[in-house]
Amino acid sequence: MKRYLIFSGLALAIAVPAIAQVATSTPREQMRDARQQFQQDAQQKRADLKATIETQRAAMKATLDVRREALKQQLQKVRDERKKAAVERIDARLTGINEQRTAHFSSVVEKIEKVLANVIERTDKAQTARDVAAARTAITRAQSAIQAAKDAIVAQAGKTYPITISSETGLRADVQKAAKALQADLNAVREKVKAAHEAVRQAAVALAQATRTGGTATSTVPSTTGMSSEQ
């Protein structure tokens, strides 16, 4: 019985400090753990986005041979061999432009998301001494805007713009129709990315105001000026 009591006492002696150690986790440590988890989640989300875009592109490319064969059949309406070759080059070019622009948009969103992560980290640090409610609200809006931009990019990556040939005389109009459809869709995605950029900027400004820095954000949000709507 004495041995049992001794072991029980030892078990309690070990358990109590362990419980106390867990209970004495400081707010700073909790904040650090939360930041690390957020960074890990953000990295996983970026990897997931890239994988999803690649899946969309692979599905789109799987149909390319069929589409190009269909285009060749339609081009039998055209006698001029130079025009035929030009249309085929433009068809391939439209696919290339879409791939390049979606990759660019994805890169911009990734940079914007990293800036938001920095804003969130600084908001967490400031919350013990400042009222950061407005910044939290702006951060939530920015997260929603970023997700909307990601969704638009993924959808765009899987789109195709086949040229439908009506006649040799209408060839230019047929090509322009496909090109304009691509440009319109890319412009729509660009607006989503710009909205995400602006939302993150507003979150940074809200935090700056909360910490009384004169309303000037200290995080630099990547410019979207490189996202020209010109093809």
The whole-number pLDDT of residue 75 equals 83
* pLDDT at 208 > cutoff 80: yes
* pLDDT at 5 > cutoff 50: no
Enter the DSSP assignment of 222: P
The whole-number pLDDT of residue 27 equals 59
* pLDDT at 24 > cutoff 50: yes
**Cα angle 61, 100, 195; round to 5:** 115
The whole-number pLDDT of residue 22 equals 47
% of residues, the chain, pLDDT over 90? 45
The single-letter code of the amino acid at 91 is D
Residue-averaged pLDDT of the chain: 80
Strands (E) across the chain are located at none
Q: Is the entire prediction scored with pTM above 0.85? A: no
The whole-number pLDDT of residue 13 equals 47
Enter the DSSP assignment of 25: -
DSSP output for 75-117: GGG---HHHHHHHHHHHHHHHHHHHHHHHHHHHHHHHHHHHHH
Helix axes 171-210, 133-157, angle to 10 degrees: 160
The whole-number pLDDT of residue 38 equals 64
Enter the DSSP assignment of 163: P
Q: How many CB atoms lie within 10 A of CB 146?
A: 23
Enter the DSSP assignment of 230: -
Average pLDDT over residues 75-90: 88
